[in-house]
Structure 1
């Protein structure tokens, strides 16, 4: 009697195919076919074929087993069990040696096969394009030749009086507030990287138009790297400050704390003031 019960249990279990097991596990987790497709990057039509046991609709035995194992991992059941059972089911249905349909195709005319030289030429062109891209990326995103120009813009409040000895002078005026909330707003698609003075990355992505990033108030000497400073609007407590740069020049290691931005603005304003004073002195002398 006990042996009959055991046989009945095994018969009941055998009624559940690998597709049934996967579907049941998916439904237990309240997941849709679309959810599984997004997780595994397997087309929904293949997932549905696996659940239905329609192996002829799949691209091949190896792919079918691989897809089923990925499906199993996504719903949290044993991929080994699913793989073994799927092999048995495919064997029973006559798919023991099933391969993609295209695997049996061969050119009717040997002359239609592309020559090896064409393949080598294509590979060479691809390599040249890759090298060119890497060189362009290095020059645009890491322009070491621009380091001197960029560092010069970080000097705060110093103005060179060309009519005197060339000694830098600090423009007089009230000291600006050194704190405030700095917000970067993208006016169009732009890639940027924000990091602190120790090189620790704080933010890095390609921002869409209208997207904002608030510089952490506790960041230690925050700086920016971007190839499109003109695509960013910078504000401190809602007040727009001068642009970080132009479209033709990549900026790197430019300070974007409130203190650094205000210092840049004061430097520009001081230069204008002294230039005006020099113009007045020249006219009085004449």
Structure 2
């Protein structure tokens, strides 16, 4: 049984398509296409995009990507979904360290105070001058 990369590369070659033509058709860089053809998905800049790249490549060479991906699911790197860890962290009483107090009320008080003081100074200087 051939791998995803071998299947895609074989189909591309049977169609007489070069990597340059495939790059312009899929908008995927040649280096990435070579990694896919070599089944080197871990070397991709972001292995989470592997299925998307395979889908685009397969569409460009007229192969059903869903069947190809389903048949070779073990070859494609799986994304680590750390959503449970994130949910548990936020569910606990410990607040994340990046949270800060809302400083908006304090800023509003400072601005209003400055306006009141400036208005009072202008009023006092107007009374003294007149």
On whether the aligned pair clears a TM of 0.5, the verdict is: yes
Alignment partner, residue 50 of structure 2:
64
Matched, 1:39 2:25: yes
**Distance in 2 (alpha carbons) for counterparts of 1:19 and 1:87:** 13
Structure of higher CA gyration radius: 1
TM-score (norm 1): 0.27
Question: Following TM superposition, by how much is the alpha carbon of 1:24 offset from its aligned partner in structure 2, in angstroms?
Answer: 0.4
**Number of matched pairs:** 84
Equivalent of 1:25, from 1, 11, 14?
Answer: 11
Question: Following TM superposition, by how much is the alpha carbon of 1:80 offset from its aligned partner in structure 2, in angstroms?
Answer: 1.0
TM-score (norm 2): 0.57
The runs of 4+ residues in structure 1 deviating greater than 6 Å are none
The structure with more strand, counted as a fraction of residues: 1
Q: Is the alpha carbon distance of 1:97 and 1:62 closer, same or farther for their aligned partners in structure 2, counting shifts above 3 Å? A: closer
Secondary structure in structure 2 of the residue aligned to 1:63: helix
Write the mapping of 1:9-20 to structure 2, written as runs, cut at 5 A: 14=1, 16-20=2-6
Secondary structure in structure 2 of the residue aligned to 1:67: helix
Equivalent of 1:96, from 65, 78, 91?
Answer: 78
Residue segments in structure 1 that go unaligned for 5+ positions in a row: 1-13, 100-108, 112-286
Once the two structures are superposed, what CA deviation does each residue of 1:136-160 show, in whole Å capped at 9, x if it has no partner? xxxxxxxxxxxxxxxxxxxxxxxxx
Q: Is the alpha carbon distance of 1:49 and 1:65 closer, same or farther for their aligned partners in structure 2, counting shifts above 3 Å? A: same
Alignment partner, residue 82 of structure 1:
68
Write the mapping of 1:78-227 to structure 2, written as runs, cut at 5 A: 78-90=64-76, 95-97=77-79, 110=98
**Distance in 1 (alpha carbons) for counterparts of 2:27 and 2:74:** 25
Relative contact order, higher structure (CA 8 A, sep 6+): 2
Question: Following TM superposition, by how much is the alpha carbon of 1:59 offset from its aligned partner in structure 2, in angstroms?
Answer: 3.1
Given that residues 72 and 79 in structure 1 are in contact (C-alpha distance below 8 angstroms), is that contact kept between their aligned partners in structure 2? yes
**Distance in 2 (alpha carbons) for counterparts of 1:88 and 1:65:** 12
**Distance in 2 (alpha carbons) for counterparts of 1:85 and 1:65:** 13
